[in-house]
Structure 1
């Protein structure tokens, strides 16, 4: 399998990437990685999915991107594992990791996540730990009161997930302990990655909310470390990444009114060069070539001059405490103060978007720390307290305490199901069990402070780590993730479709920025429906606000990336997947495994359903980018069907006490989502109990009077996986059966199992959907009654599958008609055309698509991508021929205005 480095990524540091293999071709998890120079590159591999015959389907690989370069090839059947330069020894209390440059201890219990970190034998971090600030709100005697409590993460379990030879991964789980009030709140999952030949540490931090939203407000959460520093205060430095260049200062600035000051000390200090005599010559040797010549001789050449410099420093302000806070996606501020809490901060700098990196150090070297998606997931922060002390506390704030405490409450005490497209009459909003995941990195240097270029390179490696991807045709040929097409512009009509697919995704890429869809709990999601009168998205109108995976924008974006290889689409798909899997899904409590339907708040709607947490949204990310956080998500959702015992999705339709089985499920979206979870669990670990659940449900559907078209409401038993047919009733509309990932799951399942009968049911479903109402009633012997088959474009992929399998040219043409008519309600070909308005929506020039909904965009694009795979030949060559095909086609069935 050939791989290449994606655009805007830099080869530097370790990369993780996935590979897919033909069924039956690979059975051994040993691989060779060969770079473009034909050199073997050490690679660490593990299996992430199996084919039904036990052969390897997906594998995850770790390699040093500096050795991999721009292009490489991964080949099955490699030799033995490379000899590692690192060693990790398990002890009773944890693990001791030692590499040629880095050593540290990782405990299995206690309130630190690692301790005694040494680089080249020198202690650089005494310990690292997790911090929590919780703000409690009280209403007493007519007064509103807030009290802030601090907590520290305490480990409950620790396991080593990977054990080299290139990378070691540890999974630490625990909860924050608020000792002041004797409570434990906010569970966490932490992953540490260590490497055999570098001193870099990568940390993934996940926290879950388990508080009472009425009283518990998040004031701050982050990762902290105690870092010994040495040297005089004039050789203690700090540097923050900023919009342009960096902000750099020393604890004691040598810009003083003193004619006895030796030499141009201040200029040298601001260049990041040491002033202390023992450090002068080594630094001169390592500094940039352009700076070497003027400083061949030390400025402080005598003990007398050095003592004079120390005396000057003792009479200068000592800036001990620095903070950078990103309080919105459009502003950050840096402030500082001298030691102590009884004095003010000074504003040092204001900017727009910080890259989320800082470095600090002294005579014993420097430390670099960075947080990915820093400004995108505001309010975030970086803090250093104790720059002038023997040890400093450095904090990566995932949620900055400089911001207002986060309020998890709902926006009202009542629901608006009748007017605002919310779910059920009850409110049902609860944040209990939602999560948030963030990635950060730590690195070390010998210099007292990294150069601006070094810090910028570090920032790039944190925010845009190396990503290796295969050719789209390779994934397509192996049907990775089912059926989808490669782009083709061979005819005018095909070129028009591809143009519209590009315009759609480009519009959303720009909307994220234009509408400021950023924030810790919002970044990655997009909104549901546009308001063409207010010229904003309907952020405040119930089910029209945040999308929360409704109608599969996740799958649309991933397929758009797979067929194009565009890095900017990957970034959007990755952010949406991370957001949806954490924030839109419950990971604790009675709703575990379920997710929340679209709404004003991500956890606000009373509809809690399996479909939001289905693995089909997230397995792209896991198999392509190999992020083990999704293993947690898959574990959280694999048994989500048991949550239906307390959260029946059809409870308002069938009530209680009327069923033979304990709850209900629609064949789509509920059962289809369960199948996605079970299929992923089965292929990941060959767990036959989940395969059996799939087969049980399939047989029940095959036995129903209309096959896959039956129901789609069924009774359901989580213990057995059985579906019980209860007649023809489509709660919520028949379109929900096929617009929420069902077709994609069913088609991939048919191929995975080689089940011809199931494939036939899919084809017949697609054919049946496009029959006239009279034909439907006749063919079903009246069973479907007056059921309305809404939004035919949502069935286009199913119909195209049916047309291809059944060889039905008439069905193919009708599918093409529905696909084009949905986006061309008139005789124009504007499609996803953007309109511009002057001085509107708080913009000098506002770009908008007045009719846009993410529901329509996701479904049209997803169906178009699949239709092209099945019946590309049925599409007319010219747009004139398309218009002719649509001449007598009804316009009232268009979907885009819905």
Structure 2
């Protein structure tokens, strides 16, 4: 490569026009890749195709919301849209903007369809007047409540008090009442003594976020209280769709207790259900293994010594009203009081591999084991032929310990509790997993634990204060007991709700998420491309299978993956300091989402969705001293003392938010707007200056309350992601000005992104100018979303000095020593060179330099020549592990994520320049 000085670079570099070429996804699939359905295409300019994520329309449907991107300048922000079925029929739809381009044109729109539409295999969105729903949803407010009417059911939602949802009714009849949140606490504040306390969710604030005509959203915020103590903040969002009888509830808690005293024993959503039938016409249903169903009556009439008659037995089994007693065999009807009736029923899933169903006649009497299996379907029903409540918890066994409890089934009013944390399991234990191991100084922490177990420990930092968890609950307000087939369908769409989404081709053509500057649809048109595509599939499939084989499940764990493997004991390092849970390290989230954008695979979407839910909630402190920063990888998700923007970054959340319009994820991104202020109190580099010095060393001098020291990579990139997203969503001039000011002052740094020592003004985002010669090389600077967000910023804003500075960095990071020294006065052969190949590829495409394109592929191949390296997937059986599993000893999550991102982005940018073999 020709040596290039920074001065020459600045003087001679020219930027290629943004490419508009698109690559059509090949139909061929690898052996491990699920066959994809044919993707619909838009029939006219300005339209967008919409498809079902799983390829076919669902058997049961309760309404849906999805996001659609649009090319810059194509539609105004206030454009009305219509939804068309393949036969040209207009389908009712509600539309609202999610984001705009800098010119004010529409970038992302959100769309919602009613529950009672005729389901087609695919649809098309185009400008036009939307069709009105057959049942228009209405929302009205009174002094003390909000009423939602879908045209099928009516919900009354309180604005204050302990009863959040006073009533869910259908046809003027109350089906479920007194909806409330419950928390059972095992108080261990006194050593050796436990005290059980019951807390109810109490409303602090209610917001009607959307009011129809197709979709309504109500947000309830509050805390749990027992009258003396109010704690454990919650957010409960309720979703309704026109023509629907299903309510979607998104339930979030934020832990703000003392992990050494407050042990949550139970966490649930509870409703009362009026029972308007005789005991033999009261029906209990639980979804079992696979499509199995447990179905019994409160008072069973089968298996008796006397037979009531075939019509009677069939009716009870099928969940219908039994014939009048006069039509029963008198030998049974005259002895009903001698048949036991069961008042309480439970389904408990204490782990990922086993559930049990029990029932008993009343408190004080024994429980009967009614059924067992491995993984329950996460759905149940209690009611009569006159109506009842269906209830489901998504990711039921994946987020164990979960459960359902039915009480009072023999009374006039029964109670249903959906347990997000079942009291049948041990109480939540959020304590530290060790006592600090004597690490009472920075020197011990840095040269001790970090050096041996990769754990960055500091007393008081390994706290769950402020971590959150979101659960998804579904409630079906039924006019009668559903048939067994209908119940299995409701259970199926609870486990995997119907998702509408557009195609990879349309997403890429719209230019969102960096467009062709970052990714393009999967393409196997050449042997070289096919080989890389196959390996991309291999890595995803391996992690997808590892989640199941290694049981990466549980209420606080589901959605995350492990960081590093221990080949000696054939186990991921779940118990070794900083090698355990990954916590988004090196952009695992982004790798998964870009993989989905390219392929449209349903399994990739759901894997990435679960990770987004987890990493945005559990790995981030939402209240308390460290809010809103995230925690670096650790045995416990919150255990590391490195509280960092690179983990809480909005960049990881943008994909799911724009593809779904999810309000909770929107809240999480908004939390990050002022995150830099926490770094004033918790400096990320506080230990580095004292790493080689014994004893206690004072922290670095504070920068004051208006300035903060930031890295230009992981820190500023994360802030820029939050500011940019907020600007897209709202048009905020404050956010735009912060972006432009920070970009310009980064561009003014003497050594660009290699500069160290600059501080940022917290209000204006202006960086001070670092001293000449203050140069640093960090292999982590660009691997937490900086590459991806810089591509979008350059795409959206014309800031020449920033664009040039970023291209300098892209060329120089992996450059040879002579080139680095000519430009920077020093050199460094940085780590993660293979992952940084995508930076070289970006510069090659933008500068139209074939030498850089060739260099990018050489970097991507790596020292061991990538084309000859194939991870070995070995089956372990017998005494090597506790059950049959696969291992690939050379695979790590850091390497996988960075290799995957390099592969995706190099294919997009220099894919046509793969060197001849």
Does the alignment pair 1:689 with 2:711?
Answer: no
Q: Quick check: 342-351 or 212-221, which moved more?
A: 342-351
Separation of aligned partners in 1, 2:302 and 2:134: 52
Task: Please name the residue that 1:211 is paired with.
Answer: 257
Residue 388 of structure 1 aligns with which residue?
410
Q: Is the 8 A contact 2:286 2:295 kept in 1?
A: yes
1:422 to partner: Cα distance: 1.5
Secondary structure of the residue aligned to 1:67 is coil
- Asked whether 1:480 is paired with 2:502, we answer no
- Stretch deviating more after TM superposition (840-849 or 144-153): 840-849
Unmatched 5+ stretches in structure 1: 278-299, 882-898
Distance across 1 between alignment mates of 2:95 and 2:501: 16
Residue 111 (structure 1) aligns with: 162
C-alpha contact (below 8 Å) 1:118/1:125 kept by paired residues:
yes
CA deviation after TM superposition for structure 1 residue 792, in Å: 1.2
Aligned to 1:412: 434
| Of 93-102 and 429-438, the range deviating more from structure 2 | 93-102
Rounded to whole Å, the distance in 2 between the matches of 1:487 and 1:256 is 58
Distance 1:609 1:402 in 2: 36
Structure 2 counterparts to residues 39-118 of structure 1, below 5 A: 39-64=89-114, 66-79=117-130, 85-118=136-169
**Helix, strand or coil at the partner of 2:529:** helix
Name the SS of the counterpart of 2:519 in structure 1: coil
Q: Does 1:200 align with 2:222?
A: no
Name 1:17's counterpart in structure 2. Answer: 66
Q: Does residue 676 in structure 1 map to residue 721 in structure 2? A: yes
SS of the counterpart of 2:747?
Answer: helix
Q: Matched residues in 1 for 2:625 and 2:710: separation?
A: 18
Question: CA separation in 1, counterparts of 2:903 and 2:867?
Answer: 19
Q: Does the Cα contact within 8 Å between 2:589 and 2:611 map onto a contact in 1?
A: yes
Q: Distance in 1 between matches of 2:293 and 2:876?
A: 37
Q: Secondary structure at the match of 1:397?
A: strand
The yes-or-no answer on 1:804 pairing with 2:851 is no
Matched, 1:754 2:793: no
Q: Tell me the equivalent position of 1:614.
A: 649
Are the aligned partners of 1:42 and 1:82 in contact in 2 as well (CA < 8 Å)? yes
Q: Secondary structure at the match of 1:319?
A: coil
Q: Distance in 2 between matches of 1:843 and 1:339?
A: 40
Alignment RMSD, CA only? 2.1
1:235 and 1:80 map into 2 onto residues whose CA distance is 42
Q: In structure 1, what is the Cα distance between the partners aligned to 2:761 and 2:166?
A: 49
Native 8 Å contact 1:762 1:798 kept in 2:
no
Q: 2:817 aligns with which of 755, 758, 773?
A: 773
> 1:224 deviation in Å?
0.4
Higher mean displacement: 193-202 or 512-521? 193-202
Q: Does 1:819 align with 2:860?
A: yes
Cα deviation per residue 1:844-878 (whole Å; 9 max; x = unaligned)?
6432110111000000110111111111122124x
Asked if the contact 2:176–2:389 (Cα under 8 Å) also holds between the matched residues in 1, the reply is no
2:583–2:631 Cα contact (<8 Å) kept: yes
Q: Contact conserved, 1:30 with 1:78, CA < 8 A, in 2?
A: yes
Q: Distance in 1 between matches of 2:96 and 2:335?
A: 59
Contact 1:747–1:759 (CA under 8 A) maintained in structure 2: no
Rounded Cα–Cα distance in structure 1 between residues aligned with 2:151 and 2:603: 37
Which residue, out of 384, 388, 397, partners 2:419?
397
**Corresponding residue of 1:159:** 207
Look up the match of 2:178. 127
Residue 461 of structure 1 pairs with residue 461 of structure 2: no
Q: Distance in 2 between matches of 1:759 and 1:523?
A: 39
Identify the residue that residue 535 of structure 1 maps to in structure 2: 570
Question: How much does 1:186 deviate?
Answer: 0.9
Give the direction of change, closer, same or farther, for the CA distance of 1:845–1:363 in structure 2 (3 Å limit): closer
SS at match of 1:72: strand
Structure 2: gaps (5+ residues): 1-47, 440-448, 690-698
Measured in 1, the distance between the counterparts of 2:112 and 2:201 equals 29
Larger mean CA deviation between 629-638 and 322-331 belongs to 629-638
Greater length-normalized contact order (CA 8 Å, ≥ 6 residues apart): 2
Query: How much does 1:191 deviate?
Result: 0.7
Quick check: 386-395 or 268-277, which moved more? 268-277
Q: Which residue number corresponds to residue 275 of structure 1?
A: 322
How far did residue 426 of structure 1 move? Answer: 4.1
* Structure 1 residues 731-776: Cα deviation after superposition (integer angstroms, max 9, x where no partner): 7x61111111111111110111133332222222111112222431
Using structure 2 for the length normalisation, give the TM-score.
Answer: 0.88
Q: How does 1:349-388 map to 2 (within 5 A)?
A: 349-388=371-410
Deviations along 1:492-532, one digit per CA (max 9) or x if unpaired, are 22221111111111111111101100111101000000111
Give the drift of 1:659: 4.5
Q: Distance in 2 between matches of 1:613 and 1:120?
A: 46
483-492 or 253-262, which deviates more: 253-262
Equivalent residue for 2:300, pick from 253, 261, 275? 253
1:764 maps to 808
Aligned length: 840
SS in structure 1 opposite 2:598? helix
Structure 1 residue 83 displacement after superposition: 7.3
Pick the aligned partner of 2:746 from 671, 681, 701.
701
Partner of 1:501: 536
Measured in 2, the distance between the counterparts of 1:85 and 1:150 equals 40
Q: Residue 347 of structure 2 aligns with which residue?
A: 324
SS in 2 for 1:89: strand
Q: Distance in 2 between matches of 1:99 and 1:844?
A: 49
